[in-house]
Amino acid sequence: MPYVGLLVMLLWVFCLIDVITADDGGVRYLPKIVWLLLVVFLPLAGSLAWLFAGRPVGGGIWGGPGGGGYRRAGNSTFPEYETRPGRQAAQNPEADAEFLRRCRERAEEQRQLERERRKRDLGF
């Protein structure tokens, strides 16, 4: 029977880590902090409730159908490199060049405004 306590403790540690590392947007039914409190204060019941009701559908960081805590594109483990239409890769080179030109113009405009503000603040 001492093995039951060890199994409960291992389940508790697993669920505690899983709750902490789960994506806030994927947690179901209750806010993540409430799930964390349930798992901490009710080790067995909270852990089982987390596994069956609160855990993200993709399975958190431990795998499952979702492939982990992030949506993956190819072999990338970083969500910012996902390939979605209209995101990282330019669809139209002219539109990309125009976008970069507008960014540079806006940055230069902001720099000029800051220079003028500093001059005004210093009394020149």
Same domain, 83 and 98: no
Same domain, 76 and 58: yes
Which are the contacts of 93, defined by CB distance < 8 A and separation ≥ 6? none
Structural domains in the chain (count): 2
| Residue with tokens 């330019």, as numbered in its chain | 90
Same domain, 85 and 103: no
pTM summary value: 0.47
Domain of residue 80 covers 2-89
Same domain, 61 and 97: no
Same domain, 45 and 96: no
User: How far are the Cα atoms of 7, 8, 29, 49 from residue 3, in angstroms, in the given order?
Assistant: 6, 9, 32, 21
pLDDT in tens, 60-78: 455 444 444 444 444 455 5
Residue 12 structure tokens: 């508790």
Of 12, 31, 11, which Cα lies nearest the Cα of 23? 31
Same domain, 14 and 60: yes
Same domain, 17 and 73: yes
Same domain, 9 and 23: yes
pLDDT in tens, 99-121: 888 999 999 999 999 999 998 88
